[in-house]
A and B are shown apart, each in its own frame.
Chain A
Amino acid sequence: MSFTTFGEFLAMGGHGLYVWLCYGVGFAVLAGNYVSARHARRYTLRVLAQRQRREAIRQSEVNRRESESEA
């Protein structure tokens, strides 16, 4: 281990600001990528499910009308 105390670890020999800024932004960007990919996937699934439900309703409506006109 190259630090003896936690305070030393945070200070990074006076370069703490630079090191932690990098790792903070790095974590935010990498995690943000996951969140946005997941969000896009959920959004698409929701939209497709909605579209399919609408399509199913429309189709049953068409079927109903057809059977009515036959009768």
Chain B
Amino acid sequence: MNWTFFHKLGSPRWFYDLATRWQPWLLAASLLLLGTGVFWGLVFAPADYQQGNSFRIIYLHVPTAILAQSCYLMMAVAGLVGLVWRMKMADIFIAAAAPVGASVTFLALFTGAVWGKPTWGTWWVWDARLTAMLVLLFLYMGLIALRSALEDKDLVAKASAILVLVGSVNIPIIKYSVEWWNTLHQPATFKLTEKPAMPPEMWIPLLIMVIGIYCYFAVLIFMRMRTEILERERRTRWVQKLVDAQEPGAGR
């Protein structure tokens, strides 16, 4: 296996340049995809025969819920890489992903609650899926609190990696909660092994939204990671040159 990529990925400067180049394209792609998805989902997708138009919340709820979980999984992988190989970039990723992950988890919970009101007749139930998702939000918030409470960067990296890894047991619980326990929550919309139960004019915009929100996530992560890299590498010549070359007020 060729490890060059892995070694390059470990270099903050290489990553910084790559992220700088990719960021505008990812932003354009995400705006295009999210715009198309929202427009399609709100205007063109047919209303659900049982839920009527409140089902359109799905186009926000499902993408944010998927991202909330996969962002946590990515952090767990980064945490493992950070612990095993002491890769600086791993903790930089966790630092960037935590606030973004927390906010999409909040969105998934919020849109779920608002969708639940007209559909189930209640904003909230303490069932397995919803509770596990709330635990995920607390894990994200705990991680952010932990990171801001500690000074020593090495200690922060180690403690966050352990917290993220321990918390990752929650992810399969969220995933399978709708199958293991009785719940009001409907089963997964997208499965790898089956065709979606909805007609294409309903699930295609949803798929567009999912891809769009991943692109947008990448934009946010790249921006935050670049900032984090500048801060940590501020004593290197390339960062000092880059800071010198910045126009006042610039900072895309």
> Is A14 in contact with chain B by the CB < 8 A criterion?
yes
Contact B44 A2 (CB under 8 A): yes
Q: In the complex, how many angstroms separate the beta carbon of A39 from the nearest chain B beta carbon?
A: 9
A71 within 8 A of B: no
- Cβ of A15 within 8 Å of any chain B Cβ, yes or no, is yes
Q: Contacts of A65 on B, CB cut-off 8 Å?
A: none
The smallest C-beta distance from B245 to any residue of chain A, in angstroms, reads 10
Least distance between B217 CB and chain A CB atoms (Å): 9
Query: Is B46 at the interface (CB under 8 A from chain A)?
Result: yes
Q: A13-B52, A18-B117, A48-B230 are in contact. List 18 more A-B contacts (CB 8 A).
A: A12-B52, A12-B56, A15-B54, A18-B54, A18-B118, A19-B54, A22-B111, A22-B115, A23-B38, A33-B99, A37-B223, A37-B224, A41-B251, A42-B250, A42-B251, A44-B230, A49-B244, A52-B240
| Contact B220–A34 (Cβ < 8 Å) | yes
Taking a contact as CB atoms under 8 Å apart, the answer to whether B42 and A13 are in contact is no
B250 partner residues in chain A, CB cutoff 8 A: 42, 45
Number of A-B contacts (CB under 8 A): 108
Q: Which residues of A contact B239 (CB under 8 A)?
A: 48
Please list the residues of chain A having a beta carbon within 8 angstroms of any beta carbon in chain B. 1-3, 9, 12-16, 18-19, 21-23, 25-26, 29-30, 32-34, 36-38, 40-42, 44-45, 48-49, 51-52
Choose one: A9, A19, A36, A48; the contact of B57 (CB below 8 Å).
A19
> From DSSP, what is the main secondary structure of chain A's interface residues?
helix
Chain B interface size, as a band, is 35 or more
Find B53's partner among A12, A32, A51 (CB 8 Å cutoff): A12
Whether the pair B220, A33 counts as a contact (CB closer than 8 A) is yes
B60 at the binding interface (Cβ < 8 Å): yes
State in angstroms the CA–CA spacing of A46 and B99 once bound together. 22
Bound-complex Cα distance A22 to B111 (A):
5
Interchain nearest-CB distance for A68 vs B (Å) = 27
Question: Pick the contact of A34 from B64, B115, B219, B249 — CB < 8 Å?
Answer: B219
CA distance A58 to B223 in the complex (A): 32
Bound complex: CA A38 to CA B223 (Å): 7
Known A-B contacts A13-B52, A14-B52; the reply to A26 vs B114 at CB < 8 A is: no
Interface residue? B231 (CB, 8 A): yes
Q: Please, what's the 1-or-0 string for B210-252, where 1 marks a CB less than 8 Å from any CB in chain A?
A: 0000001001100110110011001000011001101011111
Residue B47, interface by CB 8 Å: yes
Residues of B within 8 A of A21 (CB): 114
